[in-house]
Amino acid sequence: MTIKKTTIVGQSFQRVESNAKVTGAAQYVDDLQFGPNLLHGRLKRSPLPHALIKRIDVSKAKALPGVRVVVTGQDYPGLTGLYLSDRPIFAVDRVRFVGEPVAGVAAETPELAEKACDLIEVEYEELPGVFDPEYGASPEAPLIHPNLGEYACAPFIFRRPGTNISNWFKVRKGNMEQGWAEADYIYEHTYRVPQVQHVPLETHATVAQVDGNGKITLWSSSQSPFAQRNLIAKSLGISHSKLRVITPYVGGGFGSKAGVSMEGACVAMALKAKGRPVKLVMSRAEEFYTTFVRQGLVAKIKMGMTKDGRITAMQNTYYWDAGAYTEYGVNITRAAGYSSTGPYYVPNVHADSLCVYTNHPIGGAMRGFGMPEIHWAIEQHIDRMAEHLGLDPVQVRLLNCLKDGQETVTGMPMHPTGLSQCIQKAAEAIGWGKPSQPSGPHKRRGKGIAAMWKAPAMPPNPGSAATIRFNEDGTCLVNIGGVDMGQGTLTIAAQLAAEGLGIPIEDVRVNTVDTDYSPYEWQTVASRITWSMGNAILAAAEEAKMQIIQMVAEVWGENPQDLDIIDGNVVSFATEESIPLKNIVVYGMQKPDGTWVGGPVVGKGRFMPTYVTPLDPETGQGPRAVVHFTTGAQAAEVEVDEETGEVRVIKLVSAYDVGKAINPDMVKTQMEGGAVQGMSTALLEQIILKNGQPLNPTFTDYRIATAVDAPLEMEDIIVEVPQDDGPFGARGIGEHAMVPTAPAIANAVRAAVGVEIDSMPITSEKVWRALREKRGANGNR
């Protein structure tokens, strides 16, 4: 092993583009809200993927005029993590990925903060890196976290101290020997998914300030204000009551703003800033590889199938490239484990889902939470087996897809689901079995389909709370902890409150999140908000409604069961009398004897699932692994240019069982947005890494789909099979349309030109090379 000692002065690695110059409207907003005392934060980052920190010298940075704060890991050595506490705010004794913060600086101007970072000297002793998860899981790989066994860990995460495996989820079900014996065809193959970025329009941005009483306020663009408060407070060793998180509207998240990434660093600098606010904003390059990315995956799939298409056995091994810290990634691995077969009934299963430390960017939550990655492999595998057996891929899916009451991979009975309907409707809408005419010579059309399932990936006890209070004029304020980042949280909250109370939606206002005043919400993740928060809102509405009805019933001398609230008026079905909510919801009502009853109406509601059970760590079996699954299917039609390999998506069809569409228009926009984002990862996106170094952290070299790339036609189909524990039967749909898009497109490309692409993305170059190899194999050069 070669050991290198390196002293870094400044940023000798590829320099990130700076947000140093803040002028015009942005500067005006800063001055308006925080005044001229605002300090600007910057982070000193590691240029190496894996190294020991031998020395940090911050003296020159501290001496620079205008620098007010310099902090390092020695100042705040505590660890943070949602499921596994393995991540420091600043690296303490070693760095584990390129871009890891080793120090923070707050200065009077962005330029001064940048210059101070350049003056910090860091001496490293370079260590061997791990850049492949399969190698990382092997005994030969160097350890990235030697202290893995000492980290605080959730009880459902099964780490392996002394290895790079931070979670190993196993499924052992049925009799594998019998399953293979029953199969007429057994096919085994490996598929790969790279790390990709969420690329929200708004990068991570925070401001933190400590007041004279030691109370910290963090303004944060976050999906997880309460989780952020919890994790940062624990890491810094402060009381939760001393930390307040305010989250306004969020400019896109897709999972990247779940949990904690750089927010703790901003709070740490503010603690040393003597009451001055500190602002920390990620540049676009920093966003690409120093916050969260979607984990990479190596998926090994082995499947047995009878000649009529019935799946008899499945053996899957998932090696997750989880990056340098896996505090969030361990639960993605778990979700992949209890969903490892896809939405199919498979009697015999042997599955291993391994979360592996690498010296790559940190893997975290992204739309789909592991499901796009595993479905990329499973759904292509099914198509290839169907073709080998001469079977229709749609019929194979209809034969094997989970039906009501069938056992899932973990032994849980499947709740009522419209999956079969989704597959059928998607196939019909795409014109399955009907040829399409290409637009020109050397172009071929093909159609593909893929099914999916996804459960809300979360602990067994994530809670939601809501409060409703009325104003004098009969309007109401709904307080929630859910975050609106464009997906419609506030709209859904207003709809449910209005429906539950019996008042016009125009009379409902929903507040954004402030942890000092908003009721608790675990996180805005997992497509759970309509379901979980919605249940809490309905409970709060019911409590408020009953307060009003009981008050009116007492004054009118009526049975409360004869009263209801309709369009903002309490009405009696017995006497046809009515009274508006105005005034009575605050001041109460006067009884015939002159006394008063009632008072300010405040409704409180909460919801937490109480029925999820633990799973056996060796078999993955248990009565109820998750609260529910959202299921669906997607179909794609593509046109492939045989001369260039270019793939053009002509049409995408999305069909999903949402239980009940509370807002059909928003359901359809989630389907369309998810489908286009899925198409973008399928055809374009990949963080290119060479020995841990990111090579394309700009929009110049990292392309995402735009309106120009979007399909010419999109069709959205809503299927409604009610969920027993959902508000009005609803379940989530925010992430799901992204899950099967990539394999549906891959299957369509295969149908068009007969080439198989095992690794995302399906670039023109890969298709062109595969076509060239195919022609060579056929003797057509």
Tell me what the mean pLDDT of segment 31-50 comes to. Answer: 92
Three-class secondary structure of residue 664 per DSSP: helix
Residue ranges of the chain that CATH labels 3.30.365.10? 18-25+462-607, 293-432+448-458+627-778
Of 92, 136, 121, the closest CA to residue 5 belongs to: 121
Looking at residue 443, what DSSP letter applies? E
- The DSSP bridge partners found for residue 316 are 301, 351
Whole-angstrom distance, CA of residue 750 vs CA of residue 428 = 20
Give the helix/strand (H/E) hosting 228: helix 225-236
Task: Work out the pLDDT band at 514, boundaries 50, 70, 90.
Answer: very high
Pick one of 3.30.70.3000, 3.30.365.10, 3.30.565.10, 1.20.1740.10 as the CATH number of 18-25+462-607: 3.30.365.10
Task: Report whether 81 contacts 87 (CB < 8 A).
Answer: yes
Q: pLDDT by residue (tens digit) across 701-718?
A: 999 999 999 998 999 999
| Rg (alpha carbons) of the chain, rounded to whole number | 28
Helix axes 329-338, 371-388, angle to 10 degrees: 30
Q: pLDDT by residue (tens digit) across 87-128?
A: 999 999 999 999 999 999 999 999 999 999 999 999 999 999
Give the DSSP letter string of 722-767: --TTSGGG----TTGGGTTHHHHHHHHHHHHH-----BS---HHHH
Above 70 in pLDDT, residue 11? Answer: no
Residue ranges of the chain that CATH labels 3.90.1170.50? 32-127+201-252+257-289
Task: Work out the pLDDT band at 30, boundaries 50, 70, 90.
Answer: low
Three-class secondary structure of residue 529 per DSSP: helix
Q: pLDDT by residue (tens digit) across 566-599?
A: 999 999 999 999 999 999 999 999 999 999 999 9
- DSSP strand pairing (311-321 vs 349-356): parallel
CATH class of 32-127+201-252+257-289: alpha beta
Structure tokens at 70: 């310099």
Q: Strand runs (DSSP E) across 295-359, as ranges?
A: 296-305, 311-321, 349-356
Residue 761 preceded by cis peptide, ω within 30: yes
Task: Work out the pLDDT band at 605, boundaries 50, 70, 90.
Answer: very high
Tell me what the mean pLDDT of segment 502-519 comes to. Answer: 98
- b/e 166-197 (16+ beta carbons within 10 angstroms → b): bbbbbbebbebeebeebbeeebebebbbbbbb
* pLDDT at res. 559: 98
Looking at residue 255, what DSSP letter applies? T
Which numeric CATH code is attached to 293-432+448-458+627-778?
3.30.365.10
Looking at residue 160, what DSSP letter applies? -
pTM: 0.95
Above 60 in pLDDT, residue 22? Answer: no
Tell me what the mean pLDDT of segment 219-244 comes to. Answer: 97
